[in-house]
């Protein structure tokens, strides 16, 4: 019962991050589930099965508010589903001892990239570039994002959303809506791959229900939170948490002494906190520039 409560809290926290950023549910929840003691394959499988429910709610909401480009959704989601299926079958065949540091390494890199990306984004305005995204860009992006999502227990949002925002040809809200909706295909085929590789014995439905319940409770709170806090600051904080949790897993995998473990994690925590403060200051600076009389007059 205690573990189910912990997993419900994990699902709640992960949905808060994902609902505020359009990314991070899988990476955050898988990282916390590994800390809670689940094996990598079981953690990733549980996360993807729980996401089946959250993806449906998210997709319907985005469709209602007109945040979806359906052509972009299909061009990205179909190759993403293929990549996720092969990633799930690959992870299912790895031993727990081998999979834990591999998954932690992938999540650590994704967390570091999130940290860097959102600190940088905090002081910038995005200007859309003319033109549409080509299948030659979207197909390999979907394949890679789907594979990383299944093997890392998350990553579809950080990989796909970040790449599309960097491309700068789609409105941010359309990027988030299309990526979130296409994630349903990725989740279905990742779950299918895990079921074929692990069987039903490899998945605890109680864990899935607990994650899903936490996510459902957090959804309206996340919608309120995103209207109050800047996405860049939330993304930086999420990146720092992901880096810390997975760095701990890697250090423990190589049997790092306790004193060294605390010292390294403490130093990284300080760096992450500084980056959150930096992102906050850069966001405030950008907001002040946008509200200045000179800039307002120029825009007029």
Confidence class for position 185, pLDDT limits 50, 70, 90: very high
In angstroms, the first-to-last Cα distance of the chain is 60
Confidence class for position 248, pLDDT limits 50, 70, 90: confident
Cβ neighbours of residue 191 closer than 8 Å, sequence gap 6 or more: 45, 48, 49, 52, 88
pLDDT digits (tens, 9 = 90+) for 150-170: 887 677 877 787 788 767 788
**pLDDT value at position 200?**
63
Q: Inform me whether the pLDDT recorded for 203 exceeds 70.
A: no
Chain-centre distance of CA 235, in angstroms?
10
**pLDDT value at position 242?**
76
Residue 182 half-sphere exposure, CB side, CA atoms within 13 Å? 38
The model's pTM? 0.69
**pLDDT value at position 299?**
46
Confidence class for position 75, pLDDT limits 50, 70, 90: very high
């Amino acid at each position: 019962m205690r573990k189910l409560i912990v997993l419900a809290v994990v699902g709640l926290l992960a949905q808060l991050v994902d609902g505020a950023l359009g990314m991070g549910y899988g990476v955050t929840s898988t990282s916390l589930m590994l800390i809670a003691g689940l094996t990598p394959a079981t953690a990733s499988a549980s996360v993807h099965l729980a996401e089946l429910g959250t993806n449906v709610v998210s997709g319907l909401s985005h469709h209602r508010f007109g945040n979806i480009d359906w052509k972009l959704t299909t061009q990205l989601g179909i190759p993403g589903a293929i990549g996720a299926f092969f990633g799930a079958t690959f992870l299912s065949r790895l031993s727990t001892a081998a999979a834990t540091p591999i998954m932690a390494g992938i999540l650590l890199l994704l967390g570091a990239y999130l940290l860097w990306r959102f600190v940088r984004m905090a002081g910038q305005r995005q200007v859309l570039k003319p033109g549409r995204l080509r299948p030659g860009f979207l197909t390999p992006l979907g394949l890679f994002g789907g594979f990383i999502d299944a093997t890392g227990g998350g990553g579809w949002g950080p990989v796909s959303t970040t790449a599309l925002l960097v491309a700068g040809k789609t409105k941010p809200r359309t990027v988030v809506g299309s990526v979130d909706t296409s994630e349903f295909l990725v989740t279905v085929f990742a779950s299918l791959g895990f079921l074929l590789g692990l069987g039903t014995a490899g998945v605890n439905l109680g864990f899935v229900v607990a994650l899903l319940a936490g996510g459902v409770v957090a959804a309206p709170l996340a919608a309120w939170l995103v209207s109050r806090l800047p996405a860049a600051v939330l993304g930086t904080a999420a990146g720092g948490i992901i880096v810390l949790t997975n760095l701990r897993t890697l250090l423990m995998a190589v049997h790092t002494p306790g004193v060294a473990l605390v010292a390294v994690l403490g130093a990284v925590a300080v760096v992450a906190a500084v980056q959150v403060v930096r992102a906050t200051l850069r966001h405030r600076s950008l907001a002040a520039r946008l509200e200045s009389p000179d800039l307002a007059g120029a825009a007029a």
